[in-house]
Every structure is written in structure tokens, then in C-alpha cells.
Structure 1
């Protein structure tokens, strides 16, 4: 299905890979790690670059997006979990609140450094990818790293997301802004511009995750996102407890999107002590199961299931010989 979110110059289909995974603990679902994937070349606004200030002087862009103040680079002030608790207005019927409704939400599934000026080794990336919606028209960062805190990424590898801070509403036009650079020496003027511009997403119709390929001066970034229908906001909090030895950990969320479960990488790293992970916000279709997948080392995989609700929170636990995990998922409408 072709989304009308962004005008595309061309597209091509990549190989389909489907993985059916047995969950264990009496939980079995099919999780599609990749499905008939398409890569789109979206329309990027002319004269919308940030480094040279062109986006701030673009009168046509300001006219079309009159509610957005492009000069305001502050992060959204809205927090997640704003409607977690039930209120006096809540009216439940057959288990669902009839006052607070699920809404279509934009969900980023992954970011990938598709092409790099250095093919044989990692580069250091910094900058941001952010989304503006009509909830407050301010920047909601999906990726955000300063120059003094870059991330090391190889060509073809995932770029770990740092957001969004709260759910992204698709009830009206959404703008995606990005300015990413490659650190290339001691001085910022020596750095390479990876991508810098803005693009629009204007369609509410749900679709499967599609990689939107942004071709820049010194490389290419793939942004995989989709509109999730009738969604609620899931805020995921994870704490690692009782660590007995060092181990590698990968955490991802699997959500239902257009007849398949799609995986969203949340965290990948080494754990050597008790700690809490960053808070993650994910859009989940109401009354479907969200799966949290924990991969410990190379062969230990555990899943926990959470049914998407309009309000409330649920906690689960995983206990292994050398560590235990406590997770809490808080549900909210927006």
C-alpha cells in the first residue's frame, strides 16, 4: 500500500524476510522482522536547510505551516502519561472508556545509516531528527545527540533512537525536521553534513512501516515509520536488578501494525551493574498485545505481553540466574 504521507520520486521492493518466533511461557505469536519492505524517496522541501538558516527565511514554508515557529528549537513541553489515571468523566462500557478515545499516531520503527562516506568502519554521528505535530507545534525529538556526545555507527547499521518524548498525533499535518552531521576532526567546521532539511506527513490513513530514504550530501539515512490506527500511548520503563555478571542486552517492542507484528529496537548495549534504562514511548493499537522482547547474550530470549488499554499501568518481571528485569508499561490516551 502506498502511503500519501510524503510524495515519492521512486520506490523499490527489497527482500521479504519473515520470522516466526515461539515465545515460551505459553505465549506464541508471529513477529514479522521484515515484511514486503518498500523504500521510498520522499519529497523534501526546497530551501528548508537549518545550518544556513534557509528554513527560517522560507516564506512559502511559513505560510503553509503557519502554526509552526521554525525558529523555536525548544523541545515539546507535553509529557507522556498525561491521561493515565481515570477521571470522573470516564464512562466504561464493555471494558473500554467511552470518553477518552484512541487516535491514529505516527510511530518511528527504526533509523538506519544506509550509506556512509566511510564504508569500512564507523563514523560519529550527532544532530537531530524531530517531529512537529499540532498538539503543541514544538520539536519532539526522535534522535538527539550533541557534538560532544556523538554515537558511533557503521554503514548499514541501526541508529539507536532517543525518543520520541511523547506520542505523535496524526490528526493533521506532521512535519519531520532533521539536521545530522558526521564528526570529522577537532573543529565543527571540519564536520560533514549528512542530512539537513524537512519533509511533511499529511495522511491519516494507517499503513505498514516503510523506509523513507533521505539522501544527503555525505550519506543516506533511512527513516522507517508508519501511522498506527486507533492507538494509545505506551510508556515503557525498565530496570535491571541483581546483576551477577556482565552481559549484552537487546530490548525491543513488537506491536501490531496492519496484520503483522513489527519490531521496534529500543536498546542495545552492555550491562555490568544494576541500572534503569531510558524511558521509551511507543504507539500501540488499542486492545492488541504489545510484546517486550529481551535478548540476553546470543541465545537467551524472553518475552512479556501487555494488552493495550486507555488508562492504567501493568508491571512484569523476568528472573534469570545472573540478573532480573522489572518492567512497567503505563497506558494513556492523548
Structure 2
């Protein structure tokens, strides 16, 4: 149903306010209704009195909260004004220089070390430890695609936006790259293990982005990308999200012989760079890993399932993706295919009204690979499917769309 048919009075509201756009947070109380309807159930951060007399129409903020269209509202204080989207078709392949990525020293939280056990002590003195259930080492219970099916109370705008299940602030990991190793590393190659995970307000248990066991470490050198196995589901980004990490270099038979590369936890708040990638600078005792991330003000979850069928001969496959028009590739797969199989599922945050693009490179080691693209426009519910036929195989792609739920009780 078109929302204008149900509530035309909504479009006549002229109440306005001034000041910066409100910042959203799950820490404050939620609004149960707006103009008699359940349109925006997230609370507005700050005192409403600050926004009373303005030239900015209140409707603009609602449109911005739902659609993410920056032309409908000025950007929040400390936020980039860009939500970059491109026309349908092949995205630009212009690479972002390192200096284009904003870098900020997000200090490690005090008493957050795993190796000395300090992260598990002082729960009563450090509220973040209780808020994010640090003592609970379980994995997030919330699955991806929980809101992929429309519900009877869905209200759709003419542009396809669902006013009942609206996009939310989300955090996207782009890459983890080894930038420094111990000087005495044999051949500058090491065995790496450990994890990097997010804890958000939706479900504070561990949502692993990387999770490598000591029994099966990965071989890396300076400049190597660390393959991301997660996240399991989209990462909420409203007020604060916690990044927890414990990465080590295997050096002997016993764990006590290993070197600590990263250890601790870091807060990401609503302040800082939005809608553009930024780096989390995480220097460690024996090296460093650059973590590139993206905060999106309004986004939905894209869950990608890929099946390889009708394999005619062994071939190499490199798969990457681009989200929200940002020219920064996320590596999803790089390896050889010898038989029909499914690839690991991936979950990616996609900004409202923008595109999610997949880039396939298919070929052999002795030839220049052929390149194929498929593109999907963000939507709140449902799924899209495309097929790519190559000389080696048939690739089936399914993208399932879902907003994050408002609450999760486990």
C-alpha cells in the first residue's frame, strides 16, 4: 500500500527544527509512534528543544532516516555528506589511495587485554564490559536474513522503501592487511591465528569477522590480506560498536611461546568518518594490522550465496565486491575451482538507494582472466538472482535482502 493513501496528513506536517540532524542511538528510549504511525521507532539523540525553530523541514529528516538520500537533509555533525551511488551498470574501478582513507587513532580501551586476562576483570568498574557481555564468549545468536520476507504490516513507498522495516546505521569491514611483522620473522613469513569480532547493541555476543584457530593458522607476509570469514550477520552501528581482537603469531609448540600481534578492544562511536572508508590503526607489540571499515548512516543487509555448476575444466576464480558506490574492493574468494560447489556465504552492508556489485575474474593461471560483473540495487526485503555463463562454468548468484531487526531477545 502507498503510504500517502493511508496517511495523507503525514505529508502536510510542517513542523520544523534547527541544528544538526539528530544522531540515532539504541541507548536512549525509542519512539513508539510518529504522527500516529510506526514510521520511525529509533529515538532521536539529544534534546528536542534544540531542534524546534528551523528552516529545515522535519519531513526531510524522516526521508533521510529512511532512504539515506543526502540531498534531503544536511549531513550530521562530523559525518561526510557523501553517500556515493552510481548509475546502473559497471562501477568505476578507480582505486582509492591510502591517503584518501581517513585514519584515526582509536585508542585501545583500558583493561581490555586478553593475554594478561585484564579484559575479564573489573566488570563492575568498566561498564562497557557488562554492556557488551565480555564474559560471554559465545557467538552472536542472531542470523542473517531475519527480515527478508515482507510482513502483513509492511507499508511501501512508491520508490520501494518499506516504512515499517527501515534501513539502519551499519558497520562494514573492508579488509584486514598485515603492514608490519617482527624483524626476526624467518623469511618475513609467519603463521597467524586469532580473531577480530564486533559486538553491537543488537546482540552483544561475538560477531566474528576473522576467526582462525591455532591448529590451522594462515601463512602471511607483510602486505598480505587476511581472508575474512564473516561477519555472520550485519553489524549495527548506532551509538557505539565494540571491536574486539586477539591476533597472535605462532612460534612454538606451546601457546606461551607465541608472539602477540593485536590484543584488546576498541570503541567505535557515532563521531568520525561516515559513508567513506576509514582505517582503524591498531599497532601491536610485534607488528601491526590495518583494518579498513565503513560506517553507513542508513543501510540494509545483503546476503550473498553463489553456486558454481557445470564445471568443464579446472579454473581460477577471483571474486570481489563493491558496496554503496565506494571504490574500495572487498575480497570474497580467491582460489581454484575443480568441481561444482557452493561458495561460502557472505554478508555485506549496502547503503539505501545504492548498489551492490560483484566482480568475477575467471580464467587459468596461464591466461589473462575474463571479467564479469553483476549488479543489484538495494531493497528492504526479498531476493534477486542472476546467472553468468562462462567458457568454464555456470555461476548462479542469489542476493537476499533484509533490514536489521529493531530488537533481538535471543
Structure-2-length-normalised TM-score: 0.71
Are residue 275 (structure 1) and residue 341 (structure 2) matched? Answer: yes
**Residue deviations 1:96-127 (CA, integer Å, cap 9, x gap):** 21111001100000000111123844321111
Q: C-alpha deviations, 1:45-91, integer Å up to 9, x for none?
A: 12211122101113476324532221111000000000000100101
- Aligned residues of 2:303 and 2:346 also touching (Cα < 8 A): yes
Partner in structure 1 of residue 177 of structure 2: 112
| Inter-CA distance 38–202: structure 2 relative to 1 (3 Å threshold) | closer
The Cα offsets for residues 214-254 of structure 1, whole Å up to 9 and x where unpaired, read as: 11111101110010121000000111112222222111111
My pick for the range that moved more, 126-135 or 114-123, is 114-123
Structure showing greater radius of gyration is 2
Counterpart Cα distance in 2 of 1:279 and 1:38: 29
Segment of structure 1 superposing worse, 146-155 or 71-80: 146-155
Secondary structure at the aligned position of 2:312 is classed as coil
Shift of 1:186: 2.5
Match of 1:53 in 2: 117
Secondary structure of 1:39's aligned partner: strand
Larger strand share, 1 or 2: 1
Distance 1:182 1:283 in 2: 31
Alpha-carbon distance between aligned partners in 2 of 1:54 and 1:156, rounded to the nearest angstrom: 31
How many Å separate the matches in 1 of 2:356 and 2:94? 13
Residues 185 and 96 of structure 1, relative CA distance in 2, 3 Å threshold = same
1:265 aligns with 2:331: yes
CA distance in 2, matches of 1:120, 1:246: 31
Residues 262, 326 of structure 1: CA spacing in aligned structure 2 closer, same or farther, 3 A cutoff?
same
- What is the RMSD of the two structures over their aligned residues, measured on CA atoms? 1.9
Specify whether residues 109 and 222 from structure 1 end up closer, same or farther in structure 2 by C-alpha distance, changes over 3 A only.
same
How many residues align? The count is: 308
Which residue, out of 174, 191, 194, partners 1:127?
194
Match for residue 96 of structure 2?
A: 34
Alignment of 1:162-173 (within 5 A): 162-173=229-240
Distance 2:340 2:253 in 1: 35
Residue number among 55, 73, 76 corresponding to 2:137 in the alignment? 73
Q: 1:235 aligns with which of 283, 297, 303?
A: 303
Whether the aligned pair in 2 keeps the contact of 1:256 and 1:262 (CA below 8 Å) is: no
User: Aligned-pair distance for 1:312?
Assistant: 0.3
Q: 2:397 aligns with which of 318, 327, 331?
A: 327
**1:318 to partner: Cα distance:** 1.0
2:166 maps to: 101
Deviates more, 1:177-186 or 1:104-113: 177-186
| Contact 1:181–1:191 (CA under 8 A) maintained in structure 2 | yes
SS at match of 1:295: strand
Matching residue of 2:353 = 287
Q: Name the CA shift for 1:248/1:83 in 2 (closer, same or farther; >3 Å).
A: same
Q: Secondary structure at the match of 2:228?
A: coil
Question: Which residue of the other structure, out of 256, 274, 282, is the alignment partner of 1:206?
Answer: 274
C-alpha distance in 1, partners of 2:260/2:314? 37
Unpaired stretches in structure 1, ≥5 consecutive residues: 1-22
Cα 1:325/1:140, change in 2 over 3 Å:
same
Alpha-carbon shift at residue 188 of structure 1 (Å): 2.0
* Cα deviation, residue 93, structure 1: 1.9
Which consecutive aligned stretches of 4+ in structure 1 deviate over 4 angstroms post-superposition? none
Query: Residues 216 and 232 of structure 1: is their aligned pair in 2 closer, same or farther, counting only changes over 3 Å?
Result: same
Q: 1:51 to 1:102 in 2, by over 3 A?
A: same
- How many angstroms apart in 1 are the aligned matches of 2:210 and 2:241? 16
Residue 160 of structure 1: how far off its partner (Å): 0.6
TM normalised by structure 1 equals 0.87
1:246 aligns with 2:314: yes
- Native 8 Å contact 1:32 1:263 kept in 2: no
Q: Is the 8 A contact 1:104 1:206 kept in 2?
A: no
Match of 2:74 in 1: none
